[in-house]
Structure 1
Amino acid sequence: MTTTAPASPPKGVDTLLVLLALAALAALVVPWIPAGLFEPGAPVALERFLWVPDAPTSTLFGTGDGRGFLNFLFEGLTSGNRNGAAVGVIALVLIVGGSFAVVNATGAVDRGLMALVARTGDRPAWLLSGLFLAFSLGGAVFGMGEETIAFIVLLLPLVDRLGLPRESAVMATYLASQVGFATSWMNPFSVLVAQGIAGLPPLSGAPFRVVMWAVFTAVGMAFTVMYAKRHRRAPHAAATADAADAADAAPVATPMNWADRAILLGLLGTVVWIVWGVTERQYYLPELSAQFFGLGLFAALVAWLDRRLSANRLAETFTEGVRQLVPVALVIAAAKGMLWLLGGSDPHQPSVLNTLLYGMGLALDGWPTWAAAQGMLLFQSIFNFFVTSGSAQAAITMPLMAGLGDLLQVSRQVSVLAFQLGDGLTNLVVPTSAVLMGAIGVAGIGWGQWLRMVWKLVLVFMLMASAAVALAVAIGYV
């Protein structure tokens, strides 16, 4: 049996093009919409909104303090400071990208997962549970997504040999990673980006999210194991020629050595260090960036001492990891630039964004806080059909949702929670997700077939997400 190479996921419209179109639209409509502000020195409220019809508007090209469409990307890139978006968040994203590229290049994570497979391969329930936990952690800690496709290819011969349904390999990897992604407390490509844009400290509200991650992961793990048991073929049905070939092709774990164990311990230690630093010492973007960079240096040193990678190759790997995250940096910058075209996010300075927030606030005026929060969750879930990138969706929606939450007495932490749940959980079913289509494609599963398999689980997840948002509102989650 020949192992299928991972297929390249189909590409949709580039996120940067979407943001460019939105920025062009913003530049066109700003001159026709009167700007407004909320009364300075007072809490943001609908009754304190003031019109400022003679506020500066956008043009094609701005000079000095003028706003122009051609200036929006530069203004976005240079906005903020080392402690916020866009400069600080972009720096964090690029450093994280380079550091995790080095960790991945050492092969320690791959060997750790394959060692897990080797130890639990003859106990399917343990195998699927261990994989689900590992990939859920991967999604929560460093936004694992596309990487799952390669692991699905490696696991297919094994699940075939064990008589397990092929979709169980997708559930224990891709589905698990997206559960972790959606409920993460520290994902640098969704939660930290959203918190940075919303003006919240990174990793703030982590205890609530850690508990949420554990509950969602347990439910997903139980579903995966029960599904595999219900659809497992009888042993004699698996003992075919194809299954024999699959057994020969099944992944064999490369023995882990001291370097692999050291790198994995370093990864775990860094996560603990970050959580301790943020909660006990109030570490912020500069410190977080240094911690992730320290992880990359440690992994590189261990790999070099083990003669696994040369110093030049390690430097090239770090650079390549940074390069791969440049599109994310540009997305963050473009979103901030678009916000700049609308006049900025300061509620007490004239802007078209304030006018838009006022209009949306009027439409939702009178809604209970819990209902407004549920509306945000629904909006983010629908929006993810069009923009499946977590960082892009955060960059596009959080400036508006954070301000709208202020008007409706929904805390910014709850706004971020609604974003991450709506974004991450719908990645399990939306056909516009290139990674989902690639993951089920290499397993030979059609989208309609996949939907029939997981719709009940996704419905349960969405109900749990709604309950989590309601609980967050009830306890005053900030």
Structure 2
Amino acid sequence: MPDTLVIIFFVALFAALLTYLVPIGSFQTQEVHYLADGVQKARTVVDPNSFAYQLNEAGEPKLEPIALFKGEGGIGLFNFAFEGLTSGSKWGTAIGVIMFMLVIGGSFGVVMATGTIDNGILKLIDKTRGNEKLFIPVIFALFSLGGAVFGMGEEAIAFAIIICPLMIRLGYDGITTVMVTYVATQIGFASSWMNPFSVAIAQGIAGIPVLSASEFRIPMWVGFTLFGIVFTMRYASRIQVQPQLSHSYHTDAFFRTQQGDAKLESRFNLGDMLILLTLVATMVWVIWGVVVKAWFIPEIASQFFTMGIISGVIATLFKLNGMTLNMMAQSFKDGAKTMLEPALLVGCASGILLMLGGADPKAPSVLNTILNAAGGVIGHLPDALSAWFMLLFQSVFNFFVTSGSGQAALTMPLMAPLADIVGVTRQVAVLAFQLGDGLTNIIVPTSASLMATLGVCRVDWGSWLKFVWRFMLYLMLLSSLIVLGAHFIGLS
């Protein structure tokens, strides 16, 4: 299996080829208003009837092929990596996510250097010996609930840093960690009945009551979550018996080495308790801030940075692992280093979107043309097949725009009126959107959160693909049955 960076480069070559074949086009935008929690809200979306090709001097649809290199801030094949790494803002992909990863990597580097996590894990294993299998269903369910209720996703990166060593010590692997953290959040995100970043926005744009059809979606969430738990537990049980079967067996050696260096009699004193309390308090504080104050990347990163400083000071005062202020600084740098590889992948993946013209509907781009063409194809299909093709289209489109709210703003203004034309209810169109958008985040290399979580668990994307393709196949089959079933019962 090629290295992840090699795979992304070949995807970039394919994106560059598309610019030689597909003309560029753009939409006009309009403002829609909807109610959410009794509050009137507005969102700018595309006008589905406004698509127009950019024309050349001869009055024909214009191609805008990517050059090998383009200066002055332009995007070319051989500078897509740099442009991707520096794109966005502190509020999102790519530069914001990359800086978020470096800060939390450094902060947890300090926490890990204190030895508290390793020693706490040894104590936990000793106290719960014989009941280790409970960790997987409990953690998976909690993360799925977080994805369903407040759109948890990026936050899984920080939790994975803590949980991965625990899973390795219990005889599982890094892949199991990714499943119970990030994958669980996306299962919840995709099957949610109240996710403010996908369901609420999509329903508002589609002109149907926000958070409606909860009686259908709540059992759907329970079903998807149970399926994820059962699949993960069966896999983890096999790995516990034969660790060499794991696709991440070789990269897990990093954590097994740490395990081998750990003392059998673990230390656990007042300093360790204070650091654990700091860690727990930070997690609770961050979750509260996300839910109540709508914190995002800058605020979350700041809280974890503060946690790293406090943990380092406590470790220095209690001389945990011989911690000093200089060791704090070195541990922060070492922790940030572990994030360098996934940070590069995030930036390169963002560069692919830029090569296709970016996600701005008003700027002429290849991506807008693809979006309009897909809408035209779906509009000429029978009703049941149209419902399924909406799911398929949203799944494919998520490769280019992994933001739930961004994808809703781009696609739902097209899908909602198309649903009316072909005899599919708008509720089913929203269902196809949320399942297609959320579930493919588990596999697409353009998802910054996925690549970051794989990075901190030291799982190569190629190894992840070898494992997860079968799980994704089951999920898409289940999603197809749900969307078709919802169509035939007339979900509205």
TM-score normalized with structure 2 length? 0.61
> Is 1:99 aligned with 2:128?
no
Equivalent residue letter for 1:290: S
User: 1:183, 1:212 within 8 Å by CA — same for their partners in 2?
Assistant: no
How far has the Cα of 1:394 moved from its partner?
6.4
- 2:176 maps to 175
Between the aligned partners of 1:134 and 1:64, the Cα distance in structure 2 is 48
How far has the Cα of 1:281 moved from its partner?
2.1
Deviations 1:89-131 (A, max 9, x none): 222122122122222332322322222221122xx2x332146
- 2:388 maps to 371
- 1:25 maps to 14
> Is 1:418 aligned with 2:447?
no
Any unmatched runs of 5+ in structure 2?
32-44, 57-61, 145-152, 189-195, 202-209, 242-260, 417-428, 445-449
Equivalent residue letter for 1:129: L
- 1:191 maps to none
Query: Which residue among 408, 416, 422 is the counterpart of 2:415?
Result: 408
How far has the Cα of 1:61 moved from its partner?
2.5
How far has the Cα of 1:145 moved from its partner?
6.2
- 2:54 maps to 52
> Is 1:275 aligned with 2:287?
yes
User: 1:179, 1:217 within 8 Å by CA — same for their partners in 2?
Assistant: no
User: 2:361, 2:368 within 8 Å by CA — same for their partners in 1?
Assistant: yes
Between the aligned partners of 2:91 and 2:25, the Cα distance in structure 1 is 28
SS in 1 for 2:88: coil
Between the aligned partners of 2:346 and 2:289, the Cα distance in structure 1 is 25
Q: Once superposed, what is the RMSD of the aligned Cα atoms? A: 5.2
Between the aligned partners of 1:28 and 1:116, the Cα distance in structure 2 is 53
Query: Which residue among 76, 81, 87 is the counterpart of 1:68?
Result: 76
Deviations 1:161-212 (A, max 9, x none): xxxxxxxx56xx853651332122799xxxxxxx99xxx9xxxx9xx99999
The 5-angstrom pairing of residues 14-413 of structure 1 reads: 14-41=3-30, 44=46, 47-54=49-56, 56-64=64-72, 66-121=74-129, 124=130, 126-130=131-135, 133=138, 141-143=155-157, 151=166, 154-155=169-170, 169=172, 174-175=175-176, 177-184=178-185, 252=264, 254-308=266-320, 309-365=323-379, 371-372=388-389, 374-375=391-392, 403-404=410-411, 407-409=414-416
Between the aligned partners of 1:419 and 1:338, the Cα distance in structure 2 is 17
Equivalent residue letter for 1:315: A
Between the aligned partners of 1:418 and 1:432, the Cα distance in structure 2 is 16
User: 2:85, 2:95 within 8 Å by CA — same for their partners in 1?
Assistant: yes
SS in 2 for 1:58: coil
Any unmatched runs of 5+ in structure 1?
1-11, 157-168, 188-194, 234-248, 381-392, 438-446
How far has the Cα of 1:356 moved from its partner?
1.7
How far has the Cα of 1:38 moved from its partner?
1.6
From the superposition, tell whether residues 210 and 278 of structure 1 become closer, same or farther in structure 2 (CA, over 3 Å): farther
Deviations 1:297-317 (A, max 9, x none): 122222222212232222222
From the superposition, tell whether residues 278 and 360 of structure 1 become closer, same or farther in structure 2 (CA, over 3 Å): same
How far has the Cα of 1:222 moved from its partner?
7.4
From the superposition, tell whether residues 180 and 29 of structure 1 become closer, same or farther in structure 2 (CA, over 3 Å): closer
Between the aligned partners of 1:352 and 1:250, the Cα distance in structure 2 is 54
From the superposition, tell whether residues 467 and 255 of structure 1 become closer, same or farther in structure 2 (CA, over 3 Å): farther
How far has the Cα of 1:331 moved from its partner?
2.1
Over the matched positions of the two proteins, sequence identity in percent amounts to 30
Aligned length: 387
User: 1:95, 1:293 within 8 Å by CA — same for their partners in 2?
Assistant: yes
User: 1:102, 1:296 within 8 Å by CA — same for their partners in 2?
Assistant: yes
TM-score normalized with structure 1 length? 0.63
Deviations 1:353-388 (A, max 9, x none): 1112222333333677863564368669xxxxxxxx
SS in 2 for 1:59: coil
Equivalent residue letter for 2:15: A
How far has the Cα of 1:151 moved from its partner?
5.0
Between the aligned partners of 1:307 and 1:212, the Cα distance in structure 2 is 50
The 5-angstrom pairing of residues 427-438 of structure 1 reads: 434=463
Between the aligned partners of 2:142 and 2:110, the Cα distance in structure 1 is 18
Deviations 1:241-288 (A, max 9, x none): xxxxxxxx9984514222222222222211221122122223232212
